[in-house]
Amino acid sequence: MLVNLELLLRDAKQNQYGIPAANAWNEGSIRAAISAAENYKSPLILALYPAMADIFEFGKIAVRAAKTARVPVVVHLDHGQQYSDAVKAVRAGFTSIMVDRSTCPFEQNIAEVKEIVKFAHPVNVTVEAELGHVGQGSEYEETKNEGLTKPAEALLFVQHTGIDCLAVAVGTSHGVYAGKPELHFDLLKQLNQVVPVPLVLHGCSGTGDENLKKAIQLGITKLNLYTDLDKAGYSVLEQRIKQEEITGMRQAESAMLQGYREKLEYYIQLFGSNHRA
């Protein structure tokens, strides 16, 4: 069932569970992610980062697969940094888009996000934006306390843009952490109290199970995943190669997608979205 984010995240917020936003890039990863969600009766967010695949081709495959899925599936643009990315995603059938202007000044971030909300909402496409900035894990020790989201700004940002959910910076980073993840739970608690829309956490891979469960308890509803899914897929491939079970590209792809799917199933259970479809 193809849906947008609004009803899914509001239910997640009300009932204190999280929904995985799994980065996918081709038909195999799309079907592996949907299979994991169907196995555990979980809603799912299929996320595309534009650098990973063509927006139109991804949309064509993902929208078709989502429509026939036995669980609610959102087709979501992740970190759209160009106005044209958002336009392409809407034209390709995406049901949700993230507008990433997190490195822009506050007023510019508001203005550019607001313009995209204006054309997305009339066609029933939900909009996510980021305030503060989630950096790269490779620079974690130097940047972990930079770009944190300010609660007062977050409230104004939501009021002025009309977004459906807000990605916040509370101590996570994208990619592999160079250091121990340290989340600012007091800040997250404040944000959850003042921000009227569901909250999103980027950089969940490697953050730690207990940290993620606590973040969900404090208001996080959408959790972005890629690195851990990627690593799990590669790990299964390595095991199969050592066992001399890989004889060609098809077996290699099957092994990687198995690892990807199994790791996503793990997170579905950890986030509590199983049996929520």
One DSSP character per residue, 10-49 reads HHHHHHT--EEEEE--SHHHHHHHHHHHHHTT--EEEEE-
pLDDT tens by residue, 236-257: 999 999 998 888 999 999 999 9
Is residue 78 part of the annotated active site? The answer reads: yes
Feature table: binding site for dihydroxyacetone phosphate = 175, 203-205, 224-227
**Which residues contact residue 1 at a Cβ distance below 8 angstroms, ignoring those fewer than 6 apart?**
66, 67, 69, 70, 71, 72, 73
Token pair 């095991």 is at which residue? 239
One-letter amino acid identity for 151? P
Per-residue pLDDT at 178: 56
Please enumerate, by residue number, every residue annotated as part of a binding site for Zn(2+).
79, 100, 130, 174, 202
Least confident stretch, 2-6, 130-134, 272-276: 130-134
- Note whether residue 257 is domain-resident: no
Q: How many domains does the chain have?
A: 1
User: Alpha helix locations (H) across 124-226?
Assistant: 140-143, 151-161, 185-194, 209-217
Domain assignment of residue 116, yes or no: yes
**Which position among 11, 54, 78, 186 bears the catalytic label?**
78
Is 105 inside any structural domain? yes
CATH code assigned at 114: 3.20.20.70
- Domain for residue 272, yes or no? no
Residue 7, domain member (yes or no): yes
Token readout for 212 is 């993620």
pLDDT tens per residue across span 165-216: 999 999 876 766 556 777 999 999 999 999 999 999 998 988 999 999 999 9
The residue range of the domain holding 114 is: 2-228
pLDDT of residue 137: 46
Percentage with pLDDT > 90 across the chain: 82
pTM of the model: 0.94
pLDDT, the chain, mean: 93
